[in-house]
Amino acid sequence: MATRSGVLMTAQDLIGRITSGEPMTVLDVRWQLTEPDGRSAYLAGHLPGAVYVSLEDELSDHTVVGRGRHPLPSGPTLTAAARRWGVCDGRPVVVYDDWNRAGSARAWWVLRAAGLTDVYILDGGLAGWKAAGGPLDTGAVEPDAGDVTLSHDDLYAGAMPTLSADEVDTVLLLDARAPERFRGDVEPVDPVAGHIPGARNLPSTAVLAGDGTFLADTEIDAQLARRGVGDAQAVGVYCGSGVTAAVAIAALTARGRPAALFPGSWSQWSSDPTRAVARGPQ
């Protein structure tokens, strides 16, 4: 299977695998901030054999308090969900979405944090699949139960690096939100506008090309250089609630640069009145 640094898979690669009949689990993780439930879009047309995954209900645990708007799920809960999706030990998983790689990057990060290594983001998402001539099916897919065993119960201390609110000043911190939210011009969701002091703005869309595919390594390097990120610097990423930050982390990981996630992100930070807030372009 041709992949980019074990993170991304092209539509042509996936089409070849599916056409040849090789075992593969495909997950549809459609989600947008303004339209968090992607099930109706999934039912109207999805990749053959793809199972719908709810970011809100299955890739987040809203019973957790004090850790932002999209707290990470627990390992046991995620294991049960992954088995419902048909995920099996030893079978690759490909995740995709239809909006700026947000849903697929969240699923990729969560599954990787839980210990699953053979999981890939479909580069270009649903649009890339269609552009490559991939077919679509309609209706729900009910897979056979999977048997996957995930090795981390606490994803906050799992296989992917994370930061707590007290640790964000130990790294060069990147904010993956839109520039107007970073500057504090607007804040449509969280209680306070602005950003974590010292953070630098790298919008998640800045690591994507116009067709929704991830930028090439040299272009990622250029984006980092514009923000003064040195080759040897430890990097952390946050966003509004830990979702779109995973897009930037996926891009950096594909480039060979690991980065830690602050899962609670701005929604956690801004809910604590004792935390300092910065506004403006820096």
**Known active-site residue 239:** yes
Other C-beta atoms closer than 10 Å to the C-beta of 36 total: 16
Rounded Cα distance between 66 and 53, Å, is 24
Q: Which of 116, 178, 239, 247 is catalytic?
A: 239
User: Do the Cβ atoms of 260 and 171 come closer than 8 Å?
Assistant: yes
List CB contacts of 82: < 8 A, sequence separation 6 or more.
111, 114, 116, 146, 148, 150
Residue pointed to by tokens 């729900």: 140
User: Do the Cβ atoms of 29 and 97 come closer than 8 Å?
Assistant: yes
List CB contacts of 122: < 8 A, sequence separation 6 or more.
8, 9, 11, 14, 94, 95, 96, 104, 128, 129
Rounded Cα distance between 169 and 108, Å, is 26
- Active site residue ranges: 239
